[in-house]
Chain A
Amino acid sequence: MINEVRNAVLAFLNKNNYGYITPQDFNLYAKQAQLDVFEDMFYEYNYQINKENARQSGTGYADIKKGIEEVIDIFSQEVILTSSPQTLSTGNYTNLYSLPADYYLINRINYRPKIVIQTGLTVPPAPPPPVNFRVELNPAQNTQGVSPGDFIINISSLLGGNTQAYAYVMSKLSNQVLSISKDFFQGPGIEAYSIYSNQYVVDIERIHQNRLARLLSSNLTAPSFDFPVYVVNGNTINIYPVTTTQITQQINTFAGSVQNYGPLVTCQYIRYPQDPKWTFSLISGGEPVFDQSQVDYQDFELPKDSYADLIIRILQYAGVSIREIDVANYATTEIQTNNQEEA
């Protein structure tokens, strides 16, 4: 979509043959425009909810809120949060967990306290897929306590920094073999895994910093194993009560060192969109030629219905840049008109 947007922007600007903007400038404006549209979605979403509450919205094709939710969910991610520092000496633990670097909004943080199988070892089945979508348990363990829907993590991959090294158990193929929702192996060789029950997933509630001290000393509402809370400090969170963050995994990794791993804390969040990048390979007749095979190519992540919005906003920035007041005014008026129509 990015090339179409760029062509449209150039067509608008280039009427008098002086409105050309370079690819570098376009990429800057495109990034800013995408962020604008992205952030506006959340305000629009809230507005639509208020309309629903006032019984002023429809269902089915008239369900505007649903459409916005679908767009926001494009940016939804679920990752395993790792304790910080990740490598701890035996017996130590921390209630400090690192948040993902690209988060825009933390939607929920959970933990799964119930371990079904702890630190089993397995070898990835030979490729090709879908053979990899299964885990062969080591002989000492069996699938008796495992239920479809349970959460399985690849500890080896997780310790390697892959916070999405998880899958769901889909079915039990035998007493030793599980079918899982995706291939989460990192390569040949022995890998460690653990399985957590999905029947008991606890929400960790975000609380404001100024409530923390009172909450911790409260007789009725102190954070507990069943009702834990967290506060945000920069790009990390502190989970309370501290006892919920005690070590539940001690992983004897293959190099012989022991690494501890706390309870399985997962986070579902909305990430920022990737920076769009219009890439080109060569210049022909003074014009760069679009090439999406470049490694740093990045299309807009917003869906096609944002096409017009993106063009108008890029025009607004470009109009200001080239001091073309008509373009800037046109873009501003269009945005206001759109807002009124949506209202």
Chain B
Amino acid sequence: MAIPNQTSTSQWTQADKSYISQYTYYENDGVVPTNANWGSYQYVSLRDIVNNFMLIYNGNHSIINNEERYKVIFHAKRGIQELNYDAFKEIKVLEMTVDSALRFVLPSDYVNWVRISLYKDGWLRPLTENIQVGSALAYLKDNDNNILFDEEGKALSPEYSNLDIDRIKGSKKSIYLNEGSQFNNEEGYYWEGRWFFDYAIGARYGLNTETANSNPTFTIDKRNGVINFNSTMSGEKCILEYVSDGMENGNESEIMVNKLFEDYIYAYLKFAILNSKQGAQEYLVSRTRKEKTALLRNAKIRISNIHPGRLLMNLRGRDKWIK
């Protein structure tokens, strides 16, 4: 498909630069990837935000003037980061196979996790976090129990601590859940696809509900950038749902904000700049603080998509018999 010859005698056309033809939208002018513009109209780019702000809110007759652009960029990015953490509801999803060391390396743009699931037999099984310690650093010691150091004075560590080895090998006890089994709720060892149990001697008191789940559990090691699983997860497919900060690995042309938050970002910029400006009147700071708070609230309500159709769906559920 060729673009029609757009011969025009009008002098300027750049006013419409934010708007693209439908051919560009659907087919990206035939350039691969052809889906690059799909859904792009929902967003406003960082470039446009900064440009609009400098043009409209920064100037001789505005409450902000003589502000350097790099400061506006800084505050705009910080505002976008904060929005990405909770307000945007833009969840990224990554599927990876857990390696033999039972690790899942966190994505490069990971900030926080939302849900971690095991994808097996066509089912998505949400996993529970095991807040008990599952991984540790260890130091090598000599026979006299002294820590060993290298020539630079750093303590020597083994590749895995005993805690890690137990977790990886499955020699660490965990709860077995299977209502049809006599060992249901018993502590056992999972080893090479089979469960082993101690002889039931003495009494057992209580159940550790944190780990009482037939699915694998995980622990997030933020500092080392990995998710550690227990031994049943080896070779399984893990689905990580997470939030990023929206910085798109430093590619500024891809940093965007949903249009529902556009007014909020301008209000946030005004507040952030005035709040850090020497001599700015407190009533201005207070006014812009209220403005940005109100706009954030509005934008959150809007993006929540609470509308009659959705309420109807929920209300219909009230007649469902719960067996």
A positions within 8 Å CB-CB of B: 49, 52-53, 143-144, 147-149, 170-172, 175, 198-200, 203, 205, 207, 211, 215, 218, 220-221, 224-227, 229
Contact = CB atoms under 8 A, between A and B. Distances in A.
B253 A226 contact: yes
Contacts of A224: 252
Nearest to A202: B47
B70 interface: yes
Interface string B1-34: 0010111111111100100000000000000000
Contact of B14 (A53, A171, A199): A199
B14 A198 contact: yes
Contacts, number: 70
A231 to B, nearest CB: 13
Given A172-B7, A224-B252, A215 B70 contact: yes
A220 B68 CA distance: 14
Given A221-B74, A227-B73, A147 B13 contact: yes
Interface residues on B, range: 20 to 34
Given A53-B61, A148-B10, A199-B14, A226 B252 contact: yes
B47 A226 contact: yes
Given A148-B10, A148-B12, 11 more contacts: A53-B60, A53-B61, A149-B11, A172-B6, A203-B69, A215-B70, A221-B71, A224-B252, A225-B252, A227-B69, A227-B252
Interface in B259-298: none
Nearest to A227: B73
A52 B61 CA distance: 8
B299 interface: no
Interface in B34-64: 46-47, 50, 54, 60-61
Nearest to A198: B14
A301 B6 CA distance: 43
Contacts of B54: 203
A148 B9 CA distance: 7
A143 B8 CA distance: 11
B68 A205 contact: yes
Given A53-B61, A199-B14, A205-B68, A171 B73 contact: no
B103 interface: no
**Which residue, of A149, A200, A218, A221, has the highest number of chain B Cβ atoms within 10 A?**
A221
Lowest 8 CB-CB distances: which A-B pairs, in order?
A199-B14, A149-B12, A221-B70, A199-B17, A205-B69, A172-B7, A171-B9, A221-B74
Nearest to B247: A220
B78 interface: yes
Contacts of B17: 199-200
Contacts of B167: none
A193 B77 CA distance: 39
B11 A148 contact: yes
Given A144-B3, A200-B17, A227-B252, A170 B11 contact: yes
Nearest to B62: A53
B253 to A, nearest CB: 6
29 contacts: A52-B60, A144-B5, A147-B8, A148-B8, A148-B9, A148-B11, A148-B12, A149-B11, A149-B12, A171-B9, A198-B14, A199-B14, A199-B17, A203-B69, A205-B70, A207-B68, A207-B70, A218-B74, A220-B73, A221-B70, A221-B73, A224-B252, A225-B253, A226-B46, A226-B253, A227-B47, A227-B50, A227-B69, A227-B73
A232 B74 CA distance: 23
Contacts of B68: 205, 207
Contacts of B12: 148-149, 198
**Which residue, of B7, B46, B50, has the highest number of chain A Cβ atoms within 10 A?**
B7
Contacts of B50: 227
Contacts of A205: 68-70
B13 A148 contact: yes
B20 to A, nearest CB: 11
B252 A199 contact: no
Nearest to A169: B11
A205 B77 CA distance: 18
B247 to A, nearest CB: 8
A220 B47 contact: no
A53 B71 CA distance: 23
B8 A229 contact: no
Contacts of B7: 143, 171-172
A67 B121 CA distance: 77
Contacts of A203: 54, 69
Contacts of B77: 220-221
A150 to B, nearest CB: 9
Contacts of B252: 224-227
B69 A171 contact: no
Contacts of A226: 46-47, 252-253
A244 B74 CA distance: 20
A173 B73 CA distance: 41
Contacts of A175: 5
A170 B74 CA distance: 38
A147 B21 CA distance: 14
A149 B61 CA distance: 29
Contact of B70 (A143, A170, A229): A229
Contact of B8 (A49, A171, A215): A171
A108 to B, nearest CB: 12
A259 to B, nearest CB: 30
Nearest to B13: A147
Contacts of A218: 74
A171 B11 CA distance: 7
B108 to A, nearest CB: 14
